[in-house]
């Protein structure tokens, strides 16, 4: 699917950018609480944090792609191609968030999302902003959590339709360097105290119009970055 996320891919090449199971993660040491609180990222957008895939959603997603999207919307659509483009879009958006260059995201992020992101990002400290930067090669797990179809039949002559895909990315800062040094990567690093401050989860939601004769590019209407350990600390 060459046209999928083509704007994201172009920017990447030119710019180079529920709560369930949390109880299984060990709590941060007591002496680190104050430091963790100062560095903790606030919620970028009002959207529930998603960490793990849903078995039911996974089945529904497959059905949606195979029996709705490909036959009726886009015969070339492949989820693996979409995920590839979504990773690059994540890197592009994160780099703009770090630099505070949100105006450069107008063609990639929806106006409503930008309006919600701007006041939050502007209040972040430099330490907090730096935490938003994502290197695509540091992503160790990514999956579409939910694929939805929306219709608008207000116009009797033209049915408007959109596809919306919520993506989840698990990122370990410094993973690329660890691999280059030949270090063994623990499969459960997200639950290990020595890695918890470096493991981030990103929730991004992508939307594209597939109305006949009015197809659009993929845009992002949700962008959230957080650490699972921060959610644990909040719940204590």
Instruction: Yes or no: say if 22 and 51 are a contact pair by the CB < 8 Å rule.
Output: yes
Residue 188 lies in a domain: yes
Residue 219 lies in a domain: yes
What CATH number is given to the structural domain containing 219? 3.10.450
Residue 104 lies in a domain: yes
d(CA 110, CA 222): 9
Residue 19 lies in a domain: no
Strand locations in the chain, DSSP E? 139-152, 160-172, 199-209, 219-226
| Cβ-Cβ contacts under 8 Å for 70 (sequence gap 6 or more) | 77
- Per-residue pLDDT at 10: 42
Looking at the structure of the chain, the number of domains it has is 1
Q: Which residue range(s) make up the domain with 109? A: 54-235
Residue 29 lies in a domain: no
Q: How many CB atoms lie within 10 A of CB 31?
A: 7
Residue 3 lies in a domain: no
Radius of gyration of the CA atoms of the chain, in A: 19
- Per-residue pLDDT at 7: 46
Structure tokens, 163: 């596809």
DSSP label at residue 42: P
The helix/strand/coil state of 171 is strand
Low-confidence residues in the chain, pLDDT < 70: 1-38, 190, 236
Residue 231 lies in a domain: yes
Residue 163 lies in a domain: yes
């Amino acid at each position: 699917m060459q046209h999928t996320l083509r704007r994201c891919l172009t920017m990447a090449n030119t710019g180079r950018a529920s709560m369930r199971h949390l109880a299984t993660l060990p709590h941060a040491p007591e002496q680190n609480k104050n430091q963790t609180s100062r560095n903790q990222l606030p919620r970028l957008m009002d959207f529930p944090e998603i960490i793990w895939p849903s078995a039911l959603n996974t089945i529904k997603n497959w059905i949606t792609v195979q029996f709705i999207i490909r036959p009726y919307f886009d015969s070339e659509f492949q989820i693996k191609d979409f995920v590839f483009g979504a990773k690059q879009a994540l890197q592009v958006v994160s780099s703009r968030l770090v630099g505070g260059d949100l105006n450069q995201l107008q063609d990639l992020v929806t106006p409503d999302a930008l309006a919600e992101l701007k006041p939050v990002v502007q209040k972040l400290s430099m330490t907090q902003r730096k935490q938003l930067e994502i290197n695509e090669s540091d992503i160790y797990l990514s999956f579409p959590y939910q694929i939805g179809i929306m219709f608008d039949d207000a116009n009797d002559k033209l049915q408007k339709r959109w596809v919306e895909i919520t993506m989840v990315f698990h990122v370990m800062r410094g993973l690329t360097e660890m691999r280059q040094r030949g270090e063994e990567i623990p499969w459960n690093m997200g639950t290990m105290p020595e890695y918890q401050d470096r493991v981030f989860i990103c929730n991004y939601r992508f939307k594209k119009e597939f109305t006949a004769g009015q197809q659009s590019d993929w845009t992002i209407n949700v962008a959230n970055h957080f650490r699972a350990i921060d959610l644990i600390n909040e719940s204590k």
